[in-house]
Amino acid sequence: MIAFLVYLFTIIGIYGLMSLSLSLQYGTTGLVNLGEVGFFMVGAYVSAIMVMLGGLPIGVGLLGAIAAGAVFGVLMALPIGDLRQDYWAIVTLAAAEIARLIFLNTNLGSPYVGASYGVAGIPAPWQQHFSTAAYGYVYLGLVAVCVACAYALVRWVGRTPYGRLLKAIRESDEVALALGKDVRRARIWAMALGGGIAGLAGGLFAHFNGFIGPDYFMPLETFLVWAMVILGGSGNHLGALVGTAVIEAIYNSTRFLDISQAHASLVASLRMVLIGVLIILVILYLPRGLVPEGRRRYGGSRAAQR
Amino acid sequence: MLLSVEGVSKHFGGLTALDEVSLSVEAGQIFGLIGPNGSGKTTLVNIISGFLRPNGGRIVFDGQPIQGLEPYQIARRGLCRTFQITLNPARMTVMENMLLGPRTQRGESIWRAAFEPWAVRKDEAAHLERAWKLLEMVNLHHHADEYAGSLSGGQKKLLALVQILMAGPRLILLDEPVAGVNPRLIEDIVQLILRLKRDGQNFLIVEHNMQVVRQLCDAICVLDMGRVLAQGAPEEVLARDDVLRAYIAAGGQVGEQAG
């Protein structure tokens, strides 16, 4: 049981990074990014390739995953920086799928990256120094540190004038433009920041799971992350993490049910139904999510000036 | 001359929204742009502010051609606009809206926010002080921490106006500053605009309310069917028969709104 909880929290942490990424991009900036899983996949593959082919340390691989996610975010945003939300939805969805189809159909000239067979035997950091039981905690600790850093980053962004501009873009990009703001540039940066965070999630996943394949990065993953952000409270980064915990707990809960093989796929589908129902209930009764977006108060600063 | 529009045309498919429109706005005056619904006023405002591209013509602001620039580039040169329906970020507080106003803020670059935190903090403090003064001027200071979306229609117009003032523009384009505002607040807005003019602020105003146009404007331009029908001092222009006829043909708004 405890081993399962360690596993569950590690997964929550990895998906939590993706939720923080989407929370910044959609929750704060209003960018309809339906290609969230693309960052995750690019990060996973880049870190695996750098470590296994490049012989680089895993830390460098993870930094590579961050950079790759950020670059992928910029590439997605460049052609659509000026456009409306509907265009963002279709372009980001397509970009992630294109990237997935590339990984599905090429082995990049190497025996490791096996197209549809995926990449097996991805090493984990410091594994030889610990017993299998203890290693779970070590990796959970690594993931927790990453989540804490990412959370601190997005919180900090929210308190800068740049973060205020992102919120203004979410609410009305026309007003931001009329006030002389370079909206396109701000959007591209939001995609880069969020892309880097989700790229890190991908790298952490690759080294945690030891195996990655194109099937892991279907658009469904993106929608799970969306469910997490909407459930938790769009615009609140803590809410994104809460939403991640709830969705992952539901997603992994069925393994304790005593079900026969024959019903396994039925139950797997029922999990998605349950998540769907939960989303509908939240939208109906808690439209701002479990943890609503907060507002920054300035009232005190007026008294201070007198 | 502050702003000059020279022979600007705009076609939407087969429809000619603006046909060789020319006008000029002098510094130190409030310039009114009026005309019946569908005469092309908002199209012209959108073209001047860069939200639409003209099919032809030139726009010169402060001695520099600005046609073809991006909206934010035009705003950075000191020509800022408001919107007919106030679009102010609803899920941001009144104060956050105000702090968004200043045109180029160091902290809006993520790098400078990270590496020059003290300079950014100093900017914020200065903006905050100015924002409190402006909010007090329009009596919105009690609402500073409320969401802009929860303000009344008139208060939203006031917020849009003081937010633009935070940007410190040379010329403000006000698109229908009193439309949908209750009569008591209309007088407040008119007095505020007159006061700002005395302080040296330049305005170009699009407005339907003739009473307000007479009170505010030093010069007006009447658009009808995408053409300039008349230009000059308000009393003379509004007394002209063809101007009156244009309004009556479009639904008799002079009678309704002249009050």
CA distances from B258 to A261, A299, B67, B212 (A): 80, 41, 34, 9
Q: What is the pLDDT of residues A21-56, one digit of tens each?
A: 999 999 999 999 999 999 999 999 999 999 988 889
The answer to whether A40 and A171 have CB atoms below 8 angstroms apart is no
Positive/negative CA dihedral, A95, A243, A139, A155: positive
Name which residue leads in pLDDT, A109 or A204.
A204
> In angstroms, how far is CA B248 from the centroid of its own chain?
26
Mean model confidence pLDDT for chain A? 91
Contact indicator for A101, A43 with CB cutoff of 8 Å: no
Alpha helices in B168-209 (DSSP H): 183-198
Q: Is the pLDDT of residue B242 over 90?
A: no
Residue A83 above 60 pLDDT? yes
Q: What's the mean pLDDT in A54-75?
A: 96
Count of beta carbons in the 10 Å neighbourhood of residue A38: 32
With cut-offs at 50, 70 and 90, classify the pLDDT of residue B142: very high
CA separation for the pair B122, B99 (Å, rounded): 13
Residue B138: exposure state from Cβ atoms within 10 A (0-12, 13-18, ≥19): middle
Ordered alpha helix ranges (H), chain B: 41-48, 71-76, 94-100, 110-115, 117-137, 153-167, 183-198, 210-216, 234-239, 241-249, 253-257
pLDDT at A303: 65
Across B87-91, average pLDDT: 89
- Phi and psi, residue B200, nearest 5°: 100, 10
Q: Does the beta carbon of A179 lie under 8 angstroms from any beta carbon of chain B?
A: yes
User: Residue B145 and residue A297: Cβ atoms within 8 Å?
Assistant: yes
Mean pLDDT, rounded, of chain B: 91
How would DSSP label each residue in B77-99?
A: TTEEE--SS----TTSBHHHHHH
Q: Is the pLDDT of residue A6 over 60?
A: yes
Mean pLDDT computed over A262-273:
82
For residue A289, the distance in angstroms to the closest alpha carbon of chain B comes to 15
Mean pLDDT of B237-248: 83
**Which residues are bridge partners to A286 per DSSP?**
none
- Mean pLDDT, to the nearest integer, of A139-165? 97
Q: Is B190 on the interface with A (CB under 8 A)?
A: no
Helices (H) and strands (E) in chain B, counts: 11, 10
Q: What is the pLDDT of residue B140?
A: 94
Q: Does residue A43 contact residue A68 with C-beta atoms inside 8 Å? A: yes
Of A87-91, A301-305, B69-73, B185-189, the one with minimum mean pLDDT is A301-305
Phi, psi of A263 (to 5 degrees): -95, -5
- Partners of residue A292 in chain B, C-beta under 8 Å: none
Indicate if the pLDDT at residue A170 is higher than 80: yes
Is residue B259 predicted with pLDDT exceeding 70? no
In angstroms, rounded to a whole number, what is the distance separating the alpha carbons of residues A65 and A150? 14
Taking the CA of residue A287 and the nearest CA in chain B, the distance in Å comes to 14
Q: What is the pLDDT of residue B190?
A: 94
In chain A, what residues touch B129 (CB-CB under 8 Å)? 305
Residue A300, chain B, CB below 8 Å: the answer is no
Q: Which segment, A78-92, A184-198, B219-233, B245-259, is predicted with the most confidence on average?
A: A184-198
CB contact under 8 A, B144 and A302: yes
Are residues B89 and A168, on separate chains, in Cβ contact within 8 Å?
A: yes
Q: Per-residue confidence at B258, pLDDT binned at 50, 70, 90?
A: very low
Residues of A in contact with B141 (CB under 8 A): 302
Q: What SS3 class is residue B249?
A: helix
State how far the alpha carbon of B190 is from the alpha carbons of A147, A288, B17, B98, in Å.
53, 38, 30, 21
Report, as an integer, the average pLDDT of A87-114: 85
pLDDT at A305: 58
The predicted structure's pLDDT at residue B208: 85
Give A175's contacts in chain B (Cβ within 8 Å).
83, 87-89, 100
Predicted confidence at residue B5, as pLDDT, reads 95
pTM above threshold 0.90: yes
* Dist CA A140 CA B226 (whole Å): 67
Nearest residue on chain B to A297, alpha-carbon basis = B145
Query: A-chain residues within 8 Å CB-CB of B92?
Result: 164, 167-168, 171, 295
How far is Cα A268 from Cα A235, in angstroms, rounded to an integer? 30
> Which residue does chain B place closest to A184, by CA atoms?
B72
Q: Which two tokens stand for residue B8?
A: 């600007």
For B100, the closest of A179, A235, A301 (CB atoms) is A179
Confidence at residue B116, expressed as pLDDT on a 0 to 100 scale? 94
Residue the block writes with tokens 């309809």: A32
Q: How far apart are CA A77 and CA A81, in angstroms?
A: 5
Phi, psi of A53, deg, nearest 5: -95, -40
Contact A294, A237 (CB under 8 A): no
Residues A270-282 have pLDDT tens digits of 888 899 999 999 9
Backbone angles phi, psi at A204, to 5 degrees: -60, -40
How close is the nearest chain B Cα to the Cα of A78, in Å? 16
Strands B227-232 and B64-65: unpaired
Could B87 and A175 be called an inter-chain contact, meaning their C-beta atoms sit closer than 8 Å?
Answer: yes
The rounded percent of chain B whose pLDDT value lies above 90 is 75
Question: How far apart, in whole angstroms, are the C-alpha atoms of residue B253 and residue A279?
Answer: 49
Chain B contact present for A186, CB below 8 A: yes
Taking CA atoms, what residue in B is nearest to A168?
Answer: B89
Lowest-pLDDT choice from A254-268, B32-46, B87-101 = A254-268
Q: Give percent helix, percent strand, percent coil of chain A, each to the nearest 5.
A: 75, 0, 20
Tell me whether A171 touches chain B (CB under 8 Å): yes
A62, A54 in Cβ contact below 8 A?
no
Task: Select the more confidently predicted residue: A165 or A272.
Answer: A165
What is the average per-residue pLDDT within A91-99?
Answer: 95
Task: Name the closest residue on chain B to residue A303, using Cα atoms.
Answer: B132
Alpha helices, DSSP H, located in A119-260? 132-159, 161-171, 173-178, 183-209, 219-232, 237-253
If you measure CA to CA, which chain A residue comes closest to B109?
A: A162
**Rounded-to-integer distance, Cα B69 and Cα A180, Å:** 12
Residue of B nearest to A177 (CA): B72
Helix (H) or strand (E) run with residue A62 in it: helix A58-77
* Contact yes or no for B83 and A174 at CB 8 A: yes
Helix (H/G/I), strand (E/B), else coil: A100 = helix
Phi and psi based region of residue A210 (left: phi greater than 0; alpha: psi -120 to 50; beta: remaining): left
What is the distance between the alpha carbons of residues B198 and A153, in angstroms, rounded to a whole number? 46
Note whether B95 contacts A: Cβ–Cβ < 8 A: yes
Q: How far is A214 from chain B (nearest CA, A)?
A: 34
**Gap between the Cα atoms of B96 and B124, Å rounded:** 11
Nearest to A298 by CA among B122, B128, B248: B128
> Chain B within 8 Å of A225 (Cβ-Cβ)?
no
Nearest CB partner across the interface for A180, out of B72, B91, B120: B72
**What residues of chain B lie within 8 A of the CB of A174, using their CB?**
51, 71, 83, 87
Of the listed ranges A228-242, B121-135, B174-188, the least confidently predicted one is: B174-188
**Would an 8 Å CB–CB cutoff place A177 in contact with chain B?**
yes
Distance from CA of A244 to the nearest CA of B (A): 24
Sheet-wide strand order for B56-61: B15-25, B3-12, B56-61, B64-65
Q: What's the CA gap between B55 and B53, in Å, rounded? A: 7
Contact B147 A302 (CB under 8 A): no
State pLDDT tens for residues B208-239.
888 899 999 999 999 999 999 999 999 899 88
Percent of chain A with pLDDT over 70: 96
Nearest to B114 by CA among A197, A28, A156: A156
More confident residue, A258 or A168: A168
pLDDT at residue B255, as a whole number: 44
ipTM of the modeled complex: 0.90
* Residue A266 pLDDT class (50, 70, 90 cuts): confident
| Amino acid A41: pLDDT | 96
Does any CB of chain A come closer than 8 Å to the CB of residue B254?
no
Check: CB of residue B96 under 8 Å from CB of residue B185. Answer: no
Report the C-alpha gap between A115 and A109 in whole angstroms.
10
**Which residues 22-81 of B are in CB contact (within 8 Å) with A?**
49-51, 70-73, 75-76, 80-81
- How many whole angstroms separate alpha carbon B216 and alpha carbon A64? 61
